[in-house]
């Protein structure tokens, strides 16, 4: 029985109600047509939010103390859309998909989360200086929606600089809002700040479903 069929029979039955906790899912296949099972899970359930609460824990010695950062990652598009093909021999094209709809969805979630949880600032992380259309769409959406939340501060930072700033001066950040691959990378950095991925649990959230990770798998 295929993973997709097992998934639909288990997770998507109309009479099903349970709280899923996700352990490590490893995709053991080099077949380019075989999609990551983590990606299948996110897409089938439309888990468009990956939320990581990076918080210092008592008794764990780290370089920086009193860290309290929220990372909100778009979880269903971008470079992880799994749209790749070899157009001619030796030439591979990998498509990055960014939509206004999904950008608005994740940005609204981030600002609503900031309001509900007494956060002060949302920082959009991007590479719009190079990917002017794709990351530009994401950044412009952030800036437009930020105007609807005057009580929440808003700024933006290029992913390169954010990677450095996060490990050198993490206390400047409150809520980081990131496209899919940047969130994947910085989630791992953030875990390292507080002692490792086993210290932090992960949340994958959609409109109808949510899946919780016992540890932050960060992929």
Parallel/antiparallel/unpaired status of strands 210-213 and 68-74: unpaired
| Residue 87: predicted pLDDT | 87
Least confident interval from 18-27, 47-56, 90-99, 153-162: 18-27
Least confident interval from 23-27, 58-62, 148-152, 191-195: 23-27
What's the pTM value of the predicted model, to 2 decimals?
0.85
Residue 55, SS3 per DSSP: strand
- pLDDT at residue 201 is higher than 80: yes
Q: What is the pLDDT of residues 21-53, one digit of tens each?
A: 455 555 555 655 556 667 778 888 889 999 999
Angle subtended at Cα 163 by Cα 78 and Cα 45, rounded to the nearest 5 degrees:
30
Q: Does domain 38-214 have CATH number 3.40.30.10?
A: no
Most confident of 11-20, 131-140, 193-202: 131-140
- pLDDT at residue 189 is higher than 60: yes
Domain residue spans of the chain = 38-214
């Amino acid at each position: 029985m295929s993973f997709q069929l097992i998934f639909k029979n288990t997770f998507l039955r109309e009479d099903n109600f349970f709280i899923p906790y996700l352990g490590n899912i490893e995709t053991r296949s080099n077949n380019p047509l075989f999609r990551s099972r983590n990606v299948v899970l996110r897409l089938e359930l439309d888990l468009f939010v990956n939320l990581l609460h990076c918080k210092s824990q008592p008794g764990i010695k780290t370089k920086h103390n009193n860290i309290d950062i929220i990372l909100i990652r778009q979880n269903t598009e971008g470079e992880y859309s799994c749209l790749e093909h070899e157009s001619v021999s030796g030439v591979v094209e990998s498509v990055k998909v960014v939509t206004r709809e999904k950008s608005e969805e994740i940005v609204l979630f981030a600002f609503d989360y900031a309001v509900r949880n007494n956060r002060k600032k949302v920082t959009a992380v991007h590479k719009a200086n190079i990917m002017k259309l794709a990351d530009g769409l994401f950044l412009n959406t952030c800036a437009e929606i930020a105007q609807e939340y005057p009580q929440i501060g808003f700024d933006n930072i290029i992913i390169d600089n954010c990677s450095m700033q996060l490990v050198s001066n993490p206390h400047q950040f409150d809520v980081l809002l990131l496209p899919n691959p940047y969130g994947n990378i910085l989630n791992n950095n953030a875990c390292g700040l507080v002692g490792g991925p086993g210290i932090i649990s992960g949340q994958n959230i959609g409109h109808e479903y949510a899946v919780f990770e016992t540890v932050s798998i960060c992929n």
